[in-house]
Amino acid sequence: MADVVVVGAGLSGLVCARRLDEAGLDVLVLEARDRVGGRTLNEPIGAGRVVEMGGQWVGPNHAEILRVAAEVGVDTFPTHIAGQHLFAHAGRTSRYRGHIPSRIPLGVLDFRIAQARLERMARDIDLVDPASTPLARRLDTLTAETWMRRHMHTQSGRRLMRLSIKAVLATEPSELSFLHWLFYIATGGGLDSLIRTDGGYQQDRFVGGSQAIALRLADDLGDRVRLSSPVRRIEHRSDGVRVHSDAACFDAAAVVVAVPPHLLTMIEFEPALPAACNQLSHRMPPGMVTKFVAVYPEPFWRAGGLSGHATMTDGPISMTFDNSPPDGSPGALVAFALGDDARALERLSAEGRQEAVLDRLVELFGPRAADSVQFLERCWGREQWTRGCYAGFFGPGGWTSFGGTLRRPDGRLFWASAETAVHAHGSMDGAVSAGERAAQEALAAVGVVPPVVR
Ligand SMILES: Cc1cc2nc3c(=O)[nH]c(=O)nc-3n(C[C@H](O)[C@H](O)[C@H](O)COP(=O)(O)OP(=O)(O)OC[C@H]3O[C@@H](n4cnc5c(N)ncnc54)[C@H](O)[C@@H]3O)c2cc1C
């Protein structure tokens, strides 16, 4: 019998298990996939180099993931951003510097005024319980799209704001609760912090790829991590839990479920979860993102004075970055298809998607972009054990009806995952802090430390 079973070997579950292990508990991690890391994933691009197909960037305010990376000996390096960026809008591509394209001054002004207003409103958000923010219900029943239509005055400004929302949450503003958008701005330390490279969320990457952190955490835990062990059923009683996976069935004093809320529908609970918790699992859908990486012998765009970063308001991809390894060899461009664009690309064959993405890269970076030596794609909506990314978000009414159950323990059941984080919600940093918090709760439940005061 283990003290605690952790379901899911993403960053959240692995960090939780590490803390429980450090406290002297007997811990077991059950992972559905045949690998660890969940939404972080490295793909080889030759000569021992990798690119990240899942979460990859960290910013200066991501202290939790940076601390864990340092603990397991994974360094960071700056995202390559030197040079001019590209902005493709209304059929024309132009160059710019800074982090907002300046070609459409009225649109930029409209965007900046809206940003200031959003950041003012975000300062009032109660991060621990957004539903108790003043006027929460009113904010929660609006979509971000409705707010933009009411409060922004130019089509180009709205297109910039739509692009920012898609880039940050991988969802359409029409699907998103306005309260969730404000919460996300607050949890990320402001809109600039969310969209910036220097000084923001995209500032740094991990040497050897972000999945290296999960791989090292799992190495340290050794055979206490069981792969290919999807958890199908959890029986929970006042004196313990029984966790049924495809591999075996395990008894423990407590269980930490470290999977995103929408995947709870794939686990049977006995007795059934409270109604609000059951419903929450249907009310926090993930965004939709397909990530493409085109690999080249060298980062040829740098010689032309380009950074490799491009933003586009008219699809089929919305942004690109230079994703080459630290020494720039080989060259790699990462491209993101987000929300409806990613859904539209799913209707094409793999060859059709590759052609559509490379054609767009050629329009942006010139004919050499057609000559990729390797082309990778990862549609996270197609992944059985993820089903969409970057993270779960709330649509209209979600926070005020279901937010209160997001991380509330139920007897011997505890909840982790990036979606349960207060700070840097939905990110790798959030995954780590949620894992640490759930570990503290589980330790209190088995009597190792006093209960956590929330
Ligand atoms: C394309 C993409 C880009 C992103 N970009 C960034 C970024 O640049 N910076 C950033 O900070 N974040 C980014 N993110 C988000 C970040 O990767 C995630 O928030 C974080 O990795 C989530 O960790 P987690 O442990 O909470 O969840 P997950 O990584 O999803 O881990 C959950 C684990 O549980 C397993 N599982 C699910 N169901 C079961 C079951 N029934 N039984 C057993 N195991 C189960 C899954 O296989 C998975 O391994 C991105 C994500 C994606 C996909």
Query: pLDDT value at position 449?
Result: 60
DSSP letter at 258 equals -
- Report CA(156)–ligand 1 centroid distance (Å): 33
Provide the ipTM: 0.99
Residue nearest to atom 5 of ligand 1 (CA): 55
State which ligand 1 atom lies nearest to the alpha carbon of 378.
1
Sign of the torsion formed by the C-alpha atoms of 215, 219, 225 and 228:
positive
Residue nearest to atom 31 of ligand 1 (CA): 10
Query: pLDDT value at position 86?
Result: 97
Q: Which residues line ligand 1 (CB under 6 A)?
A: 7-13, 30-33, 38-40, 54-57, 230-231, 258-260, 263, 266-267, 289, 291, 380, 385-386, 389-391, 417-418, 426-429, 431
Pairing of strands 249-257, 413-415: parallel
State which ligand 1 atom lies nearest to the alpha carbon of 201.
9
| pLDDT, block means (10 residues), the chain with 454 residues | 96 98 97 98 96 98 98 98 95 89 90 98 97 96 98 96 97 98 98 96 98 98 98 96 96 98 97 95 96 98 97 94 97 98 98 98 98 98 97 98 95 97 98 98 82 46
- Pocket mutation for ligand 1, best pick of 30, 39, 193, 232 (most atoms within 8 Å of C-beta): 39
Distance, CA of 153 to chain centre: 31
Residue nearest to atom 12 of ligand 1 (CA): 427
State which ligand 1 atom lies nearest to the alpha carbon of 245.
42
Domain ranges of the chain: 2-38+211-285+393-445, 78-99+200-206+287-389, 105-195
- Report CA(264)–ligand 1 centroid distance (Å): 14
Residue nearest to atom 4 of ligand 1 (CA): 55
Q: Which two tokens stand for residue 406?
A: 């997001």
Query: CB burial class (10 A; 0-12, 13-18, 19+) of residue 276?
Result: middle
State which ligand 1 atom lies nearest to the alpha carbon of 429.
11
- Report CA(304)–ligand 1 centroid distance (Å): 36
Query: Which residues on neighbouring strands pair with residue 338, listed in sequence order?
Result: 289
The CATH fold of domain 2-38+211-285+393-445: FAD/NAD(P)-binding domain (3.50.50)
Residue nearest to atom 49 of ligand 1 (CA): 38
**H/E run at residue 114:** helix 105-122
> What φ, ψ does residue 42 adopt, rounded to 5°?
-95, 145
Sign of the torsion formed by the C-alpha atoms of 342, 309, 355 and 56:
negative
State which ligand 1 atom lies nearest to the alpha carbon of 65.
11
Q: Which two tokens stand for residue 150?
A: 């009411």
DSSP letter at 336 equals E
On whether the CB atoms of residues 135 and 187 are closer than 8 A, the answer is no
Count of residues in the chain: 454
Q: Which two tokens stand for residue 440?
A: 């503290």
**Residue 225: closest CA among 214, 233, 234:** 214
- Report CA(342)–ligand 1 centroid distance (Å): 18
- Report CA(40)–ligand 1 centroid distance (Å): 6
State which ligand 1 atom lies nearest to the alpha carbon of 424.
11
List the CATH code of the domain at 78-99+200-206+287-389.
3.90.660.10
The CATH fold of domain 105-195: Guanine Nucleotide Dissociation Inhibitor; domain 1 (1.10.405)
State which ligand 1 atom lies nearest to the alpha carbon of 229.
43
**H/E run at residue 353:** helix 350-365
**Residue 375: closest CA among 293, 289, 291:** 293
**Residue 287: closest CA among 168, 388, 394:** 388
- Report CA(433)–ligand 1 centroid distance (Å): 14
Which residues have a Cβ under 8 Å from the Cβ of 285 and sit 6 or more positions away? 175, 262, 388, 392, 393, 395
- Report CA(259)–ligand 1 centroid distance (Å): 8
Query: pLDDT value at position 117?
Result: 98
Separation between Cα atoms, residue 185 and residue 115, nearest integer Å: 10
Helix, strand and coil percent figures for the chain, each rounded to 5: 40, 20, 40
Q: Which two tokens stand for residue 86?
A: 């590209």
- Report CA(169)–ligand 1 centroid distance (Å): 14
Separation between Cα atoms, residue 385 and residue 271, nearest integer Å: 23
State which ligand 1 atom lies nearest to the alpha carbon of 263.
38
Query: Quick one: residue 101, left, alpha or beta (phi over 0 = left, psi -120 to 50 = alpha)?
Result: beta
Which residues have a Cβ under 8 Å from the Cβ of 161 and sit 6 or more positions away? 111, 114, 148, 152, 173
Pairing of strands 92-96, 319-322: unpaired
- Report CA(389)–ligand 1 centroid distance (Å): 8
- b/e for 147-186, b at 16 or more Cβ within 10 A? bbeeebeeebbbbbbbbbbbbbbbbbbbbbbbbbbbbbbb
Q: How many CA atoms lie within 13 A of 173 on its CB side?
A: 18
Separation between Cα atoms, residue 128 and residue 222, nearest integer Å: 34
Separation between Cα atoms, residue 309 and residue 416, nearest integer Å: 33
State which ligand 1 atom lies nearest to the alpha carbon of 36.
49
Question: Cα separations (Å) of 96 from 2, 93, 299, 310, 352?
Answer: 56, 10, 19, 10, 30
Query: pLDDT value at position 1?
Result: 85
State which ligand 1 atom lies nearest to the alpha carbon of 426.
19
Tally of CB atoms within 10 A around 409: 18
> At CA 123, angle to CA 120 and CA 125, rounded to 5?
125
Residue nearest to atom 48 of ligand 1 (CA): 38
- Report CA(314)–ligand 1 centroid distance (Å): 28
Residue nearest to atom 26 of ligand 1 (CA): 417
